[in-house]
Chain A
Amino acid sequence: GAGVSQSPSNKVTEKGKDVELRCDPISGHTALYWYRQSLGQGLEFLIYFQGNSAPDKSGLPSDRFSAERTGGSVSTLTIQRTQQEDSAVYLCASSSSGTENYGYTFGSGTRLTVV
């Protein structure tokens, strides 16, 4: 697509429920990234994909968080048994692969509120 698309744009869920967040990157971008932005905070790295594999999962906060990417395209971030501290804006970005980082294109994010 023309840009990075994330859905839903807003999600309110009850504590303890599971949620799935979706990211559709720019067509042809092989690298995909998930970040989390809490209120008034910077961006916290969660995970990145190169194709369908995830070389770096170091930012996932706990084993309640998981992510997958299929077909080198769409990615899903799943949070199980949500907690109130999971409330944040979850941002997805993509970039073309290569030997240099040319910068990311970000989606508009999913605002998750756990009540």
Chain B
Amino acid sequence: EVQLLDSGGGLVPRGGSLRLSCAASGFTFSDFAMAWVRQAPGKGLEWVSVISGSGKTTDYTESVKGRFTISRDNSKGTLSLQMSSLRPEDTARYFCAKRCSSSKCYKAFDFWGQGTLVAVSS
């Protein structure tokens, strides 16, 4: 059974830093790209970042480029998101998600964590 356990959220001041983690199990972690998706209070889902299975390729939504860094440790089955220069608009629940690999579900996210809450005070 695929399981994704998000952790690391909390309350931080504007300009602060935070590191989110996602512990994965139930599948061959290194075979799949992983992503972070967030949901601000009262808003919809927003893709934040994605990393390839090998970790060699990453991509970010424009608003977090230069401030957030996605990484993974395939030996431990963990995904991370290092967030710095945090802004109040980064306040959201952050979900880690496994990207589907087959051609039929290409670029879909087939399993998600429960999310971890990040609050940035102004």
Asked whether A and B interact, the reply is no
Residue numbers of A with Cβ under 8 A of B are none
